[in-house]
């Protein structure tokens, strides 16, 4: 018996109906480029960029909508496991999580991260003083901006601030000794970094600097991309497997963090905003030790090194202060 007209209409594929126009696609991709560039360096947050361009609320709403239940429902709709394949049901779920927006934004972020991490890898090998001096300026200016935006009025907030500062200060340069430098640390780094990336003012790369994984992961990602490019022209699979394992581990940690820690942070902000913000901002202040410790360990501080380090840090600080100027309407208490 032929299907009824209503049933045929219900199951007719119409994925193209929800595809945004090219102009919106290009705009979202460009925003992703800016966010990815910001997230790839410590002290600058992709969340701040999202605030400046006016998509932060949409971004958080979309991320919150991506739950394990939604992902499972989408996959089941495209398989015969749940009453047959239903493109329309899959499309409805995809639209509910603002899928085209998230997908396009993610592509822009990934593009920028790949480009910026390659630059970081080159600088880490050829000019570490310039790289970490720039990082120091980014972090220092971010700390100033964030400290100016919060107030510590209770004992509990003060205790949280001290705890956050000590945690970041003691962890900076010591993470590998405490946790080892293997895949478990990479997984933890992914979990914490991705959670931080969606918060304005707190950079995921800052977490990687604290954990001593920023340069390592930047280099590994560049090796992975190079390995994929070589594989397409007959290169060795081994060139992809090694760095690919690290990249996949980081991504797995990031997905876990997105569904757990990022939501826990938002819950803590809703429950006790002053204490949570005091802790998070103090992390940024404590992290100032990390670039200094790295330069001291790799190069050592001479007069020339110190002048270069401080000079480049001024440039980094100007970048953050310029972003803060354009985000003048942003109040951290309104996160």
Higher pLDDT pick, 159 / 263 = 159
Sorted by where each begins, the domain ranges of the chain are 22-333
For 16-64, write each residue's pLDDT tens digit. Answer: 446 778 888 888 999 999 888 888 888 777 877 887 777 887 888 888 8
Residue whose structure tokens are 């945004």: 20
pLDDT band (50, 70, 90) for residue 173:
low
pLDDT band (50, 70, 90) for residue 250:
very high
pLDDT-wise least confident of 45-54, 163-172, 249-258, 309-318? 45-54
CA dihedral 319, 320, 321, 323 (to 10 degrees): 90
Judged by DSSP in three states, 4 sits in coil
- pLDDT, average across residues 186-210: 81
Q: Which residues of 188-201 are buried (b: 16+ CB within 10 A; e: fewer)?
A: bbbbbbbbbbbbbb
pLDDT band (50, 70, 90) for residue 327:
low
Tell me if 258 sits within 8 A of 193, measured CB to CB. no
Does pLDDT of 335 surpass 70?
A: no
Judged by DSSP in three states, 322 sits in helix
The set of residues, in sequence order, having a beta carbon less than 8 Å from that of 59 and lying 6+ positions away, is: 50, 105, 198
> DSSP character for 2?
P
pLDDT-wise least confident of 15-19, 107-111, 262-266? 15-19
Does pLDDT of 201 surpass 70?
A: no
Question: What gap in Å lies between CA 208 and CA 215, rounded to an integer?
Answer: 8
% of residues, the chain, pLDDT over 90: 20
SS3 sequence, 156-221? HHHHHHHHHHHHHHHHCCCHHHHHCCCHHHHHHHHHHHHHHHCCCCCCHHHHHHHCCCHHHHHHHH
SS3 sequence, 27-91? HHHHHHHHHHHHHCCCCCCHHHHHHHHCCHHHHHHHHHHCCHHHHHHHHHHCCCCCCCCCHHHHH
pLDDT band (50, 70, 90) for residue 177:
low
């Amino acid at each position: 018996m032929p299907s009824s007209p209503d049933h045929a209409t219900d199951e007719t594929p119409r994925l193209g109906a929800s595809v945004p126009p090219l102009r919106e696609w290009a705009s979202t991709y460009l925003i992703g480029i800016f966010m990815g560039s910001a997230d790839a360096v410590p002290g600058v947050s992709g969340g701040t960029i999202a605030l400046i361009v006016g998509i932060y609320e949409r971004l958080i709403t979309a991320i919150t909508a991506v739950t394990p239940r939604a992902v499972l429902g989408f996959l089941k709709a495209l398989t015969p496991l749940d009453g047959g394949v239903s493109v329309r049901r899959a499309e409805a779920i995809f639209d509910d999580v603002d899928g085209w927006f998230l997908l396009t934004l993610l592509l822009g972020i990934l593009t920028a991260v790949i480009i910026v991490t390659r630059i970081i890898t080159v600088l880490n090998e050829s000019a570490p003083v310039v790289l970490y001096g720039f990082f120091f300026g980014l972090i220092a200016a971010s700390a100033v901006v964030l400290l100016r935006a919060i107030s510590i009025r209770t004992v509990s907030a003060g205790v949280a601030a001290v705890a956050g500062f000590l945690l970041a200060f003691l962890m900076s340069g010591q993470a590998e000794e405490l946790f080892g430098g293997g895949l478990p640390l990479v997984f933890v780094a992914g979990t914490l970094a991705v959670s931080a990336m969606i918060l304005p003012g707190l950079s995921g790369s800052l977490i990687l600097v604290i954990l001593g994984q920023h340069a390592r992961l930047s280099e590994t990602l560049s090796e992975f991309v190079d390995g994929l490019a070589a594989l397409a022209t007959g290169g060795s699979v081994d060139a992809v497997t090694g760095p690919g394992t690290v990249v996949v581990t980081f991504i797995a940690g990031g997905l876990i963090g997105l569904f757990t820690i990022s939501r826990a942070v938002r819950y803590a902000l809703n429950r006790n905003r002053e204490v949570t913000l005091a802790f998070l901002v103090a992390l940024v202040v404590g992290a100032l030790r990390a670039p200094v410790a790295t330069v001291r360990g790799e190069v050592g501080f001479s007069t020339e090194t110190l002048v270069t380090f401080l000079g480049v840090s001024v440039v980094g600080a100007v970048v953050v202060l310029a972003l803060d100027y354009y985000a003048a309407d942003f109040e951290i208490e309104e996160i």
